[in-house]
Structure 1
Amino acid sequence: MESIERVSAAAEAADGAAPLDEATWLTLRHRPESVRSWVRDEGFALLVGVELSVVVHPDARGRGIGRTLLEQALPEDGELRAWSHGDHPAAAALARSHGFERVRELWVMRRRMDQPLPAYDDARVRSYRPSDAEELIRVNAAAFAHHPEQGSMDAANLEERMAQPWFDPAGLLVAADGDRLIGFHWTKQHSPELGEVYVVGIDPAAQGQGLGKVLTLAGLHHLASKGVDEVLLYVESDNHPAVAVYSGLGFGHADADTHVMYRR
């Protein structure tokens, strides 16, 4: 674990993007027996189900270590998925040479918080309460039914996320209609300077009411009250309605802020 953390930290510092996502870190820390790993001083490969990660220390790149790790970890057949966090040309070439195709792009969009925020007024929006847990899981599952990374969140996974050092109940905003939740915006604060629109989920039965924009604004006002300088979010590049909402709220996307999924 120490080598994985060390190489990951060095790669993130060099690339400006974390090489492992939150789900992988949670699995490593809470269910390490479900992770197959190939670890050396210069890098590592991890296989979690059909999710493959290969990370090489910046000082050791260009020596074929990534290719060696990939070929050690690569099963002979079966579906595999792998992310390139930052759309690296070397990762694209390695993927092509081993039968992977580019299937998905995830954009990072960013907003400077010195821009004025529009006001919002919706009495349905409030902070999370522990009694909301079951409803939050229900709305999340419905909102992300076709999104495997997010939609599978259950009570145990919710508890794991809420046990993370960054979790702040005041930063989890929900919209309620009586006893039922109809949407939520979970914010995250990475540092005193950086916040994140972590997850915005709307019950399909409540879509079309502008609730996504309202909840996004509620979370942005919360992060502004914490004094962050910048807020980022992740959105599918082909989710044009969401991109339009976020663009209208002052978020922008740079080509370098693109994460790519490859699949075999």
Structure 2
Amino acid sequence: MLIAPPFEIGPLDPAAQRAVRELAAAAEQHDGVAPLSEQFLLNLSVDDEWVTHVVAHDKLGATIGYAQIDRSGDVASAELVVRPERRRNGTGRLLLRIAERDATLPARSGEPGQHGKTLHVWAHGDLPEARGLAEKAGYRPARELLFLARPLDKDLPAPRPVPVGLRLRTFVPGHDDGAWLGLNARAFASHPEQGRLSPADLAARQAEPWFDPDGFFLVESADSGEPALRAFLWTKVEQPGPDGTRDGEIYVVGVAPESQSLGLGSLLTSVALAHLAEVGCTRAVLYVEGDNTPALATYEKAGFTRAGSHVQYTRA
């Protein structure tokens, strides 16, 4: 459905998905930070009532901008990107206006809460251009996601012992899926994205080229009966950079609420660093909520420092 040239709303066919990925890659090369998060990239192939895709074209049909609005949570979350050489011509502001209209229109009769939501917009890297666009549109920071990093060349913390009564093993796809989803939901019950992961979300990540069960660790009870999962660590190894460097990400660490006092976060952090160094990574990276004081303390003790931030904005 065409709104007004050159904007188009609707599901993305494979060619349109490739064009958006190429646009995102060009923006990342220019800005030094990816404009679209992993979940939003996975959503490119989604054609459902809770997601809206908006593509901006120039007069020749080339893709010069993209916005996605995800209304599956309590608030509507949006990300947008404009080709670097086509910025400062109003495309970003128009994409934002379309996102605002899509998110906040009153819900239609019988619609399961998809519209009529507050809009939150991510600015990955919180670049000056994005910050300026948000401020001019009356938005303020609502949430900060910190990007932390540490080298893997030296001074790795010594592996911590596994507490008595527990054991560490790797994830078995197809066997551990249900138990892991249950633990993840409990560990991140208050998290706006992580706690809502579904079997389809897990399957989509398992289908990604980077997925490796040998880098997915579980802590479970060692009782002879049915073992219960207590914590998990999921790592993600990136492709090597042109200079030979390679990032390894502590993708997510989760601990069951009843096991928070056992030091499992520190244990799994040391396991992650040892594993990432062993598989040839030169730097460990991770993302953590800016207000998660306990996690920040754990990562600071493990040698991580702040390397960037991502800010989510909402209307003041």
Q: TM-score, normalised by structure 2?
A: 0.79
CA distance in 2, matches of 1:127, 1:222: 12
> Within the alignment, does 1:252 sit opposite 2:305 as a pair?
yes
Alignment partner, residue 265 of structure 2: 212
Instruction: State yes or no: 1:44 paired with 2:66.
Output: yes
1:185 correspondence with 2:263: no
The residue type paired with residue 124 of structure 1 is: R
Indicate which of 151, 171, 178 corresponds to 1:128. 171
Q: Which has the higher contact order (CA 8 A, sep 6+)?
A: 1
Q: Secondary structure at the match of 1:87?
A: coil
Deviating more after overlay: 170-179 vs 67-76: 67-76
Return the offset for 1:146: 0.6
Aligned partner of 2:138 among 99, 107, 115: 99
2:100 maps to what in 1?
74
2: CA distance, partners of 1:196 / 1:28:
23
Deviation at 1:133, TM superposition (A): 1.7
| Residue 60 of structure 1 pairs with residue 82 of structure 2 | no
Counterpart position of 1:20: 36
Per the TM alignment, residue 69 of structure 1 is displaced from its structure 2 partner at its CA by: 2.1
Overall identity of the aligned pairs, in %: 42
- The aligned counterpart of 1:237 is 290
Separation (CA, whole Å) in 2 of partners of 1:191 and 1:233: 16
Verify the 8 A CA contact 2:167 2:220 in the aligned structure 1: yes
Give the gaps of 5 or more residues in structure 1: none
Deviation of the 1:111 alpha carbon: 0.9
Partner of 1:137: 181
- SS of aligned partner of 1:148: coil
Is the CA contact (8 Å cut-off) linking 1:109 and 1:251 kept in structure 2? Answer: yes
Query: For the residues of structure 2 that align with 1:66 and 1:14, how far apart are their CA atoms?
Result: 16
Q: Provide the rounded CA distance (Å) in 2 between the counterparts of 1:115 and 1:240.
A: 26
Range that drifts further, 182-191 or 57-66: 57-66
Q: Which has the higher helix share?
A: 1
Whichever of the two has the greater Rg, that structure is: 2
C-alpha distance in 2 between matches for 1:206 and 1:73: 41
Letter in 2 for 1:11: A
**Matched residue count:** 261
C-alpha distance in 1 between matches for 2:18 and 2:283: 30
SS at match of 2:193: helix
Q: What is the one-letter code of the residue matched to 2:211?
A: F
- Which residue is equivalent to 2:108? none
- Structure 1 residue 112, shift from structure 2 partner: 0.6
The unaligned stretches of length 5 or more in structure 2 are 1-16, 58-62, 105-116, 241-245
CA shift at 1:94, angstroms?
1.8
Q: CA deviation at 1:2?
A: 2.3
Does the 8 Å CA contact 1:23/1:149 hold for their aligned counterparts? Answer: no
Amino acid at match of 1:57: R
Deviations 1:70-118 (A, max 9, x none): 2233217341111000112222222233332211111000011112212
Distance 1:213 1:172 in 2: 16
> In the aligned structure 2, how far is the partner of 1:83 from the partner of 1:102?
10
Counterparts of 1:167 and 1:19, CA distance in 2 = 22
Letter of the 1:69 partner, please give it. L
Task: State the secondary structure of the residue aligned to 2:281.
Answer: coil
Distance 1:187 1:216 in 2: 10
- The range that moved more, 68-77 or 144-153, is 68-77
Aligned twin of 1:147: 191
Which stretches of structure 1, 4 residues or longer, exceed 4 Å deviation after superposition?
Answer: none
Cα distance in 2 for residues equivalent to 1:45 and 1:139:
32
Question: TM-score normalized by structure 1?
Answer: 0.93
Aligned to 2:110: none
DSSP-derived class of the 2:262 partner? coil
Please state how far the C-alpha of 1:124 moved relative to its aligned partner: 1.5
| Counterpart secondary structure, 2:298 | helix
What letter is aligned with 1:110? Answer: A
Task: Tell me how far apart the structure 2 counterparts of residues 21 and 45 of structure 1 sit (CA, whole Å).
Answer: 12
1:203 matched to 2:253? The reply is: no
- Tell me, in whole angstroms, the C-alpha distance in 2 between the residues paired with 1:32 and 1:189: 29
The answer on whether the counterparts of 1:109 and 1:233 sit within 8 Å (CA) in structure 2 is yes
